[in-house]
Structure formats: structure tokens, C-alpha cells
Amino acid sequence: MTLVEELRAQALEDGWNRVKVPDLPEARDPSLLSPYAHAYLGAQALTIRDTRTRKVVGDSVSPGEVGRLYLRRVMSQSDGILAKRVPYRRDALQFMDRRPAYYFAGQTPGPFVLVDVTACYASIYSRFSLDLCYRPQCNPPLLGIGEGVFIRRSEWLKAKAERNAMWGNLLRPKVREWRHGEPVEKIPNRFFAPDLVGLVFDVAHAIAQKAREMGAVSWAVDGGAFRPEEGRRFLEWLAGSFGLHGEVRAEGPGWLFGATSYSIGPVVTEDVRKGQAHEWPESCSIRRQSARQISWLADSMKERECLLA
């Protein structure tokens, strides 16, 4: 069995009543949750603790549930505090203001290549540990690897929906619970990992900063548009510096309307296809870092990859 198949089988053994549904009307009308004292609403699933029921859109097990079970396996490698929650110090909360990187140089015609960093966030965090300690402001920067090393990495990197859902669990300090139709965010999230999140965003922003310096005309989270030759040079740099893989999603003539609005070869975003593209202003939310910091991050990434190989 693959890792995801194992986790799905584990989920089905929990004894809960599982219901496949075409959609979640509770997401549109939370008042439908008013009969319940303990309900948890996600993008694809609704968990009602009162009746031990899970409603999942189109399936019996949601990607989010698989992601949480994977995190529990990672945490089970420890006999200490990690077995119960991800430990962190108060000063790790400095990373809560980190956001994805975006950049747009202005509207322009092609030709372009559209480049993506393959499984970007997961390729970064899976080289380190869930209970990482990260302090970039120290001299030299501090990077402490804990017990929660990510298991069966190659399989996990292939599970796109599950790894994307799992990433959301690392970001939130509190869990939203619906109590009689009202949202309450008081329950601590045992998977909240601010140090690891800070490192992932810093690496992603370092890559975006270098992409801009190498001629990217746009960037959105983990990929962007380049002129053809500049895009290929960027992919070579990415592999040589951070040891990450990238791919060309599309190539050809087109028009760039915004960081997430474009027509490039056969790839057309939905707003452009529907004739709803609007004029994006020039913008940049890339968190600038020093050349020394970027070099240290790149070396740390390559060193961890060598140790895990």
C-alpha cells in the first residue's frame, strides 16, 4: 500500500459515521450547524463530534484528514512533548506575519515561459523537522532540527491534495469550532508549527527574490513568468543553489495581465478565458533578504538533502 492508502485505511477504522455528499450546504449557511455544540467545517469536510459523523465531499476521507493523520505519524516518533503538540517558544510567533510571495512588473506581451517550483513548500519543509527551531536574526542564524522528521518523503511529495491540506494545519494557532452555529476560535491547534512555517516562507521568498533579479516579470507563491531564456537559466540556478526541481508549465506567446492572470501558450487563467481580466498595478510583496541570508538558506537546504539521501 502507498502511504496515502495506509492513512485512508487508518481513517476508515475510527468507527465514525461517514457520509459522501455532493457539497456542503453548511458552508453557505452556517445556521444549519445550530443543533450541534461541536462541529468543524473545512473546505471539503464537515466533522460533527456530537453525532460522530463526518460529511466529505465526493469521498469517504478528506485530504485534510489524511494530512492530520500524517502529522500524527510524524509526531509519534517522539516520546516527549512532540507526541502531544508541536513545541515552540514565544519568540517563534514573529513568523506569523509571513505571507506568500507575489510580484508583478506590469502588463506586457509574450513570449513567456511559465515556471513552477515542483511541490515547493513540501519540498522545503520535508527536509527539516516539524519541531524545528529557527532564528534567522541570530549571528550565525540558528537552525535546530528536532525529532519530528518527515517520513516517506518521496511518497508524500506526490500526494498533492493531502500535502496542500496539511500545510494549512501548520499555519493556524487556533482551531475554529462551530458551537450552535457560531464560530469560536479558542481551541489550541496541536499542529501549529511557526518555526517551520517561518523557514518555509523565508526560503520561498528568497527564491522569489532571486527570480525577480533573474528577470521574472511575475511571481505568485511558487512560480512565475519569464522570458524564455531567462526562465531556463532560473531553473538551472534553482537546482544548483537550493537543490530544488522546477518545471516549465507552459511556453509560448501570450499576454500577462497580472501575477495570477495570464495567457501563456495553451495555459489561460479562468478570468482571461471568461473575458474578465482586469488591469493589475505593478506590485511586489517579496520579503527582501540579504545575499548572506539567501546563501545560508540555500546551503542549509542542500545540506539537509544530502543528509536525508
Find, among 23, 129, 104, the residue nearest to 284 by Cα. Answer: 104
- What average pLDDT does range 73-83 have in this prediction? 92
CB contact set of 228 (below 8 Å; sequence gap of 6+): 111, 112, 113, 251
Taking residues 184-206, report their average pLDDT. Answer: 96
Which has the higher per-residue pLDDT, 79 or 10?
A: 10
Cα three-residue angle 102-103-109, rounded to 5 degrees: 130
Whole-model pTM: value is 0.94
Query: With 80 as the cut, is the pLDDT of residue 160 above it?
Result: yes
Where residue 278 falls among pLDDT bands split at 50, 70, 90?
A: confident
Please tell me the predicted confidence (pLDDT) of residue 185: 86
The span from the CA of 101 to the CA of 193, in Å, is 19
Residue 110 backbone dihedrals phi, psi, to 5 degrees: -75, -170
- Asked if residue 236 lies in contact with residue 117, where contact means CB atoms within 8 angstroms, the answer is no
pLDDT at 14 over 90: no
How far is the C-alpha of 264 from the C-alpha of 247, rounded, in Å? 15
Average pLDDT, rounded, for the chain: 95
Region 209-233: mean pLDDT is 97
Average pLDDT (266-283) is: 92
Percent residues over pLDDT 70 in the chain: 100
User: 35-56, pLDDT tens digit by residue?
Assistant: 999 999 988 999 999 999 999 9
What cell numbers appear for 44 in the block?
A: 471539503
User: Which whole number is the average pLDDT over 225-244?
Assistant: 96
pLDDT at 6: 96
In this prediction, residue 186 carries a pLDDT of 83
Which DSSP category does 97 fall into?
Answer: G
Specify the range with the lowest mean pLDDT, choosing from 119-133, 237-251, 278-292. 278-292
Predicted pLDDT at 257: 95
Helices of type H across 12-138? 25-28, 63-75, 120-125
Domains of the chain: 3-86+171-188 (no CATH), 90-146+192-308 (3.90.1600)
Partners of residue 176 on adjacent β-strands: 185
Position 25, amino acid? P
